[in-house]
Amino acid sequence: MKSKQIQLDELAQLVQGEPIGQNHLLLDGLASLPQAKAHQIAFVNGDKHIEDAQASQAGALIVTAAMREHLSNHQNFIIVDNPYLAFAILTHVFESKVTQRGIESTAQIDPSALIADDVYIGHYVVIGKNVVIGANTVIQSQTKIDDHVEIGKDCFIDSHVTITGEAKIADRVRIHANTVVGGEGFGFAPYQGKWNRIAQLGSVRIGHDVRIGSNCSIDRGALDDTILENGVIIDNLVQIAHNVRVGENTAIAAKCGIAGSTTIGKNCILAGACGVSGHISITDNVTLTGMSMVTGNILEPGTYSSGMGLLENSKWKRTVVRLRQLADVPLTKLVKQIDHMQAQIESIESTLKLRK
């Protein structure tokens, strides 16, 4: 990768920070504190990293004004209020972007498709009937955009993505490799001992600035649409079933699964591998810790959890034995009984003292 060289003061300007030291110092990359070289810039993500920062070989550091006081080994800084945000902004400067535009000759595009002029469409992409693709969108090689799908402006769709089910995708959406959007929902009517397939007639609607990781499955709706609102971010290997609705700016980590017709509010955070049942509702501002199991509505914002955590195997085995006994142990009744017995004993003791 050819590296880009940028001056310290130019980088400072991009993050609205104050450059200190050699303003014209040329930097060609971001790096972590332990790995950074003299031609790279690193950031200090909180006071607990001050020691690592002192020891770092980075050519310059992104810090708060307060942190700088402790970094006597260094001379070149960008001073900002929020080093993590400044780092996030600068990653875009050093990223290798797909700058190529045009349509590869091997892409198969139905004549009815409407493709904006300045897109990139890679090799062996297949685009169906009446597809619409907006300006500046990049579609990597071997992706499939099925009939009637619409994709907005400035999107990035990586290789081997399948978009079907007449999905409608807004602007600045990023969909990573091998993800399926608009696949058939899992709908079957049981009848006489067999499963009768319900053809799925709804679609998928994806808002602006949505991000979907790799190997995800986002199913089309049965009748109404599956909906991801603006700003939703989703990690890898996530299942979104038919007719789910996910509210604005909700984040869903890897390996979560949301069953059919469930609604998740805005600004929620689902940590990895959570499972959410179908036909329930989760309000706004709910955080689920990893591997949570949600089987009913969540009506109050807050943080929720499940799972017993990790135990050494032999202790776990004993715990499971106790758990299996627990169903038949009336805990709260027992506590009351013990309290009552304690009172009885004390009463007996008093009686005995009196009669002594």
Identify which of 295, 256, 251 has the alpha carbon closest to the alpha carbon of residue 272.
256
Nearer to its own copies, 72 or 313 (CB): 313
Choice from 17, 29, 59, 134 touching its own copies (CB under 8 A)? 29
Catalytic residue, chosen from 148, 208, 242, 340, is 242
Choice from 186, 263, 284, 301 touching its own copies (CB under 8 A)? 186
Cite the beta strand spans of 179-236 per DSSP E.
Answer: 180-183, 188-191, 194-197, 204-206, 211-212, 217-219, 226-228, 233-234
Q: x/- binding map, residues 232-261, to its own copies, per CB under 8 A?
A: -x-xxx-x-x-------x-x-xxx-x-x--
Instruction: Find the shortest distance in angstroms from Cβ 137 to its own copies.
Output: 16
Residue 59 tokens read as: 């050519």
Q: Is 85 in the site for its own copies (CB under 8 A)?
A: yes
Instruction: Find the shortest distance in angstroms from Cβ 9 to its own copies.
Output: 22
Query: Alpha carbon of 263 to those of 173, 226, 296: distances in Å?
Result: 21, 10, 12
Contact yes or no for 65/79 (Cβ under 8 A): yes
Q: Is 279 a catalytic residue?
A: no
Instruction: Find the shortest distance in angstroms from Cβ 163 to its own copies.
Output: 9
Distance CA 322, CA 214 (A): 41
Instruction: Find the shortest distance in angstroms from Cβ 272 to its own copies.
Output: 5
Q: Is 299 in the site for its own copies (CB under 8 A)?
A: no
Query: Alpha carbon of 343 to those of 101, 339, 347, 349: distances in Å?
Result: 84, 6, 6, 10
Contact yes or no for 145/159 (Cβ under 8 A): no
Q: x/- binding map, residues 152-181, to its own copies, per CB under 8 A?
A: ------xxx-x-x-x-------x-xxxxx-
* Residues 31-50 close enough to bind its own copies by CB under 8 A: 31-32, 34-35
Q: Is the dihedral of CA 175, 177, 183, 187 positive or negative?
A: negative
Q: Is 217 in the site for its own copies (CB under 8 A)?
A: yes
As annotated, the active-site residues are 242
